[in-house]
């Protein structure tokens, strides 16, 4: 049985290509970098009395392993699976294994994009989904999770 680290711990998972935020299609994803987003999340988590861990990878298996290692250690998940949103049953299954309140976040509005981007394998198992609000969506997600967990 995994050891509990904190009863107020949120994990943030960022999927592929989000390490290029600020450079990649800024008209679609904004000008903030992933470091900017993570810094604001850590600040907000501290204000709310939560510990926060963040992780980004371009590799599906690394994302899954990070989620699995969080079992019993975190009380909430914010996930932007990026392109894996539309393709990864394996990430969906890992989120189900984690079994904590989960907010799916997308910088752009996936429902206004290409048809293949409008399907999310996470949406129906997530507590909520925030899409199209840019980097602010992450801050809304952490506030929502703090309220749900508290």
The answer to whether residue 14 is catalytic is no
- How far is residue 58's CA from residue 50's CA, in Å, rounded to a whole number? 26
Find, among 149, 108, 144, the residue nearest to 128 by Cα: 144
**Could you identify the residue written with the tokens 């999770």?**
145
From the candidates 9, 29, 84, 138, give the one annotated as an active-site residue: 29
From the candidates 9, 84, 106, 138, give the one annotated as an active-site residue: 106
| Cβ-based neighbour number of residue 109 at 10 Å | 14
The answer to whether residue 111 is catalytic is no
Catalytic site residues? 29, 106
């Amino acid at each position: 049985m995994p050891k509990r680290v904190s009863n107020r711990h949120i994990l943030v998972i960022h999927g592929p290509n989000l390490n290029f935020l600020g450079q990649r299609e800024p008209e679609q994803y904004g000008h903030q970098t992933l470091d900017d987003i993570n810094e604001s999340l850590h600040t907000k988590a501290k204000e709310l009395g939560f510990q926060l861990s963040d992780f980004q990878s371009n590799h599906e298996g690394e994302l899954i392993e990070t989620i699995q290692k969080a079992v019993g250690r975190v009380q909430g998940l914010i996930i932007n699976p990026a392109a894996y949103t539309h393709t990864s049953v394996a990430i969906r299954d890992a989120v189900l294994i984690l079994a904590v309140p989960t907010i799916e976040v997308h910088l752009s509005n996936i429902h206004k994009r290409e048809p293949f981007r409008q399907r999310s394998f996470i949406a129906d198992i997530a507590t909520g989904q925030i899409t199209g609000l840019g980097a602010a969506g992450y801050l809304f997600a952490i506030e929502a999770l703090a309220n749900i967990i508290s």
